[in-house]
């Protein structure tokens, strides 16, 4: 930040992860005041106006806890307009269909689907007042998936559907859009390929662009959706997959 008055606020959930930090930095560099949240402590040097440590699942199942968290966030908002709520936080619990527990499903749906809804519901007055945007970070798994991702893929498919349904419901009051990224180069993704550089290269090459997405580029796309303020852009679920969603994987 330059010390100038922010042009407006955005809320970013899941701000401590690789994509979350890129979102925070991208909006902060563009002059927004970013109110960041995550279940862990604030990362060092994260350029946010305010940080609220919050358990998203508890905001779904405990109304009093949720209201306390929302009150803290509103205190950071001050009297500046809320331009966007970016529902980025997610959990990815992997396992075969015959092993997933009720707890696995509950956590997945609470964080990945219900929290985005209830957070949007909570901040609807502020977003409507500023003609703001709800932006959901969904996933390519909403449409294309693989074994052991049944809970995660189902939650993301539902999140993309929620995006379209809320856009219809809210109409001109608040725009609601989503982005469905494929593989993004984050520390978490890299950790999954620790000692397996060949596997990481294979993942890159399976995308038609022969590359893995950059979190900074995803943040730039998010900023474009928010900043362009195109009233007709609502209910959109934007493909950010390096062409992977268009590729047919038949044997040669």
Show me where the domains of the chain are located: 9-182+219-229
Which CATH fold would you assign to the domain 9-182+219-229?
Rossmann fold (3.40.50)
Q: What are the helix (H) ranges across 53-179?
A: 56-61, 63-77, 102-109, 115-122, 124-129, 150-170
Judge contact between 24 and 97, C-beta under 8 A.
no
Mean pLDDT of 214-223: 98
pLDDT tens for 100-159 read: 999 999 999 999 999 999 999 999 999 999 999 999 999 999 999 999 999 999 999 999
| pLDDT score of 176 more than 50 | yes
User: Has residue 1 got a pLDDT over 80?
Assistant: no
At 20 the pLDDT is 98
Q: Whose CA is closest to 206, among 136, 144, 132, 133?
A: 144
| 3-23 pLDDT per residue, tens | 466 789 999 999 999 999 999
The rounded distance, in Å, linking the Cα atoms of 135 and 110 is 18
Given a cut of 60, is residue 252 above it in pLDDT? no
Per-residue pLDDT tens over the stretch 34-50: 999 999 999 999 999 99
∠ CA 20-25-238, nearest 5°, is 55
């Amino acid at each position: 930040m330059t010390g100038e008055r922010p042009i407006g606020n955005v809320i970013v959930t899941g701000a401590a992860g690789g994509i979350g930090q890129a979102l925070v930095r991208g909006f902060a560099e563009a002059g927004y005041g970013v109110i960041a949240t995550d279940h862990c402590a604030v990362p060092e040097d994260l350029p946010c106006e305010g940080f609220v440590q919050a358990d998203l699942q508890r905001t779904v199942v405990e109304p009093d806890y949720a209201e306390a968290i929302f009150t803290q966030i509103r205190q950071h908002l001050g009297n500046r307009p809320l331009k966007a709520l970016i529902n980025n936080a997610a959990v990815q619990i992997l396992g075969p269909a015959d092993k997933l527990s009720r707890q696995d499903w509950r956590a997945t749906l609470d964080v990945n689907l219900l929290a985005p809804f209830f957070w949007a519901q909570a901040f609807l007055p502020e977003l409507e007042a500023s003609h703001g945007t709800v932006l959901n970070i969904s996933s390519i798994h909403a449409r294309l998936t693989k074994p052991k991702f049944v809970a995660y893929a189902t939650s993301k498919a539902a999140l993309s559907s929620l995006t379209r349904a809320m856009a219809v419901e809210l109409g001109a009051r608040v725009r609601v859009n989503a982005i469905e990224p494929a593989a993004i180069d984050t520390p978490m993704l890299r950790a999954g390929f620790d000692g397996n550089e060949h596997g990481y290269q294979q993942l890159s090459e399976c995308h038609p662009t022969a590359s893995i997405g950059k979190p900074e580029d995803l943040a730039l796309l998010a900023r474009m959706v928010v900043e362009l303020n195109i009233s007709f852009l609502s209910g959109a679920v934007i493909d950010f997959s390096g062409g992977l969603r268009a590729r047919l994987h038949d044997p040669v």
